[in-house]
Amino acid sequence: MLLKVMKNIILTSLLLVFGGAVIYTSILATQLPLVVSPTFTQIPRNFTDTPKVIPVTLTSVRGKKALFIGDSHTAASYGWQHQVCKQTGMSYLNTAVGGQQTMWMVGVAQSKVTEYFDYCFIFGGANDMAGNRPPMKSVKNIQKIVNICNQHQVTPIVITGFDPITCVNVGNRKAYQGYPKRYARFQQMLVDSIQNAVVIKTHCISRTDCGDFLCHMTASGHKKMAECIIEKLQLKKL
């Protein structure tokens, strides 16, 4: 008799617990929003594994006139500037002189930039950095040249130059120990700070394309630099 009573009590308790849980769940179901886990059929699959190739429209500069302002990295008669113009059909005036700094380049811009030119290529700053000049002062000089170009409706194109960290090899030369990092910082400032100009980061050559520890480019370096600039500007070759 006692065992029967205990079974009834246990059964009654279970029914109360189960019934309460059902009621509680029903109440929650009426109060909480229904969340449906996404399935693969619900996720749009309008992408492809292979990206589409968008055709590039190349710019023809045949017959255009270019002015080059810079230092020894642009001064070579067979240099990248000559190859860019030869391959695209531009005529040009090269005013670059070895050993010059950006302040001198500003003076060249003031005297040479006129409406006669369509483009002005600006590649300088290495001598400033080798002379321990604060990078920002040199960047401001480049910006001055850019502003002069725009005043005369000439499109300014700023070239950063090769990667000094990988291309320059100062060795034990104490006077140049900080040069690679300083030059690299200057180049990044050009990319980040120069306004109203086309700025091209041209880290496209290697140490084997350098003719000396400061990386004055060999023929292979100038060729790669020219190809890099033509590609990044999307210029049409002859």
Check residue 59 and report its DSSP letter.
B
49 lies in some domain: no
The H or E element that residue 68 is part of is: strand 65-70
Model's pTM, two decimal places?
0.77
164 lies in some domain: yes
Is residue 116 classed exposed, middle or buried when 0-12, 13-18 and 19+ CB atoms within 10 A define those classes?
Answer: exposed
Are both 28 and 71 inside the same structural domain?
no
pLDDT at 44: 38
CATH number, position 184: 3.40.50.1110
Are both 15 and 69 inside the same structural domain?
no
- In Å, how far from its chain's centre is CA 126? 19
Q: Do 18 and 11 contact (CB within 8 A), yes or no? A: no
Are both 19 and 73 inside the same structural domain?
no
126 lies in some domain: yes
139 lies in some domain: yes
Q: Who contacts 70 (Cβ-Cβ below 8 Å, separation ≥6)?
A: 95, 96, 100, 105, 121, 122, 123, 124, 159
- Angle among Cα 76, 147, 143 to the nearest 5 degrees reads 65
SS (HEC) of 149-212: HHHCCCEEEEECCCCHHHHCCCCCCHHHCCHHHHHHHHHHHHHHHCCCCEEECCCCCCHHHECC
Phi, psi of 194 (to 5 degrees): -65, 135
Are both 139 and 206 inside the same structural domain?
yes
Q: How far apart are CA 126 and CA 123, in angstroms?
A: 9
Are both 28 and 69 inside the same structural domain?
no
Are both 16 and 71 inside the same structural domain?
no
Are both 137 and 194 inside the same structural domain?
yes
Q: Who contacts 185 (Cβ-Cβ below 8 Å, separation ≥6)?
A: 135
* Among candidate residues 71, 206, 91, 81, the one with its CA nearest the CA of residue 141: 71
Are both 6 and 82 inside the same structural domain?
no
Domain count, the chain: 2
Are both 154 and 215 inside the same structural domain?
yes
Check residue 70 and report its DSSP letter.
E
139: domain range? 65-233
41 lies in some domain: no
9 lies in some domain: yes
Are both 125 and 219 inside the same structural domain?
yes
Q: In the chain, which stretches have pLDDT less than 50?
A: 1-7, 9-12, 14-51
Q: How far apart are CA 15 and CA 13, in angstroms?
A: 5
Are both 1 and 82 inside the same structural domain?
no
Give me Rg for the CA atoms of the chain: 34
Check residue 120 and report its DSSP letter.
E
